[in-house]
């Protein structure tokens, strides 16, 4: 599966090459033709892959070495407080918002209702919540905490309302799914998550 970006880094090209399901001469030739600037790297990688041992035996490691690896990982991860824990939708551009809806296989309307906490958080299936957190790049807990808050106004509501705007009440996820102009397939898939 060659990356389509012609400026792909050597690492990206080698990774894509390495996980190709078809591992034969034609795949190597295809990559060599597509990435002539990475010829030597691809040849080395092809050889490394060919020589991979079939069995991996555990090796003895000092506890201190394992602990050092873990500490390095933890440091690089950073702490939760460094990550955005508030509205996980806040930084999404309109285009990113639409893309998010597509990735979740829902429409903008349902995503708006979720964002504006028009859906009772407790009724949202865990699988959907996880998928949402994944796509948002936010911790599951942060997303769940946000959605558990009270319903809020859409940013443009105040300018459209003839009177003082107020947030609408919350509905269950299943009701929202049925009333958000989703296709039947989309509805079935989402409702099945709650089963």
Partner 1 sequence: MVEPLRKVSKKHGLYRRRAEVQSLLERLDLVEAADRIGELVDAGGELRANVPPEALVHFIRRAWREDDAAALERLFKALYRRVQASLAATIPNSRMADAESIRGEIVSRFIDRFARDCRENGLWLDFYEAQFKRALAAFSTTVLRSIGPSTNKTTPLMGDGEHSDENELAPEVQKAAAEFFAEGPSFFDDPTFRSALGPAINTLPPDQKAVIGLWLQGIPIDAKDPNTSTIARLLKCDERTVRNRRDRAFKALRKILEEVKSNAAK
Binding site for partner 1 (CB under 8 A): 1-4, 10-11, 14-19, 24-25, 28-29, 32-33, 39-41, 43-54, 56-59, 61, 66, 69-70, 72-74, 76-78, 80, 83, 103, 127-128, 130-131, 133-141, 193
Q: C-beta of 64: minimal distance to partner 1 in Å?
A: 12
49 vs 92, which CB is nearer to partner 1?
A: 49
Tokens of 44: 């080395």
Least CB distance from residue 86 to partner 1, whole Å? 15
Q: Which is nearer to partner 1, 51 or 95 (CB)?
A: 51
Yes or no: say if 69 and 143 are a contact pair by the CB < 8 Å rule. Answer: no
* Shortest Å distance, C-beta 140 to partner 1: 5
Nearest residue (CB) to partner 1, 57 versus 156: 57
Shortest CB 89 distance to partner 1, Å: 14
Q: Which is nearer to partner 1, 59 or 163 (CB)?
A: 59
Nearer to partner 1, 68 or 153 (CB): 68
41 Cβ contact partners less than 8 Å away, ≥ 6 residues apart: 10, 13, 14
- Cβ-contact 176, 110 below 8 angstroms: yes
Lookup result for tokens 């796509």: 135
Q: Within a 13 Å sphere around the CA of 60, how many CA atoms are in the beta-carbon half?
A: 0
**Running DSSP on this structure, what letter comes out for residue 82?**
G
């Amino acid at each position: 599966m060659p990356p389509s970006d012609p400026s792909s880094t050597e690492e990206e090209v080698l990774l894509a090459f390495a996980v190709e399901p078809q591992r034969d001469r034609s795949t190597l030739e295809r990559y060599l033709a597509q990435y002539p600037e990475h010829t030597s790297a691809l040849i080395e990688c092809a050889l490394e892959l060919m020589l991979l041992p079939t069995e991996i035996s555990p090796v003895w490691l000092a506890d201190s070495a394992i602990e050092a690896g873990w500490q390095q990982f933890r440091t690089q991860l950073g702490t939760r407080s460094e990550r955005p824990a508030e509205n996980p939708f806040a930084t999404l551009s309109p285009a990113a918002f639409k893309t998010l809806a597509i990735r979740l296989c829902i429409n903008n309307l349902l995503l708006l209702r979720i964002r504006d906490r028009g859906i009772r958080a407790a009724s949202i299936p865990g699988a959907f919540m996880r998928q949402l957190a994944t796509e948002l790049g936010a911790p599951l807990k942060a997303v769940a905490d946000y959605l558990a808050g009270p319903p809020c106004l859409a940013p443009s509501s105040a300018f459209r309302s003839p009177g003082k705007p107020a947030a609408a009440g919350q509905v269950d996820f299943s009701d929202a799914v049925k009333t958000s102009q989703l296709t039947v397939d989309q509805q079935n898939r989402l409702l099945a998550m709650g089963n």
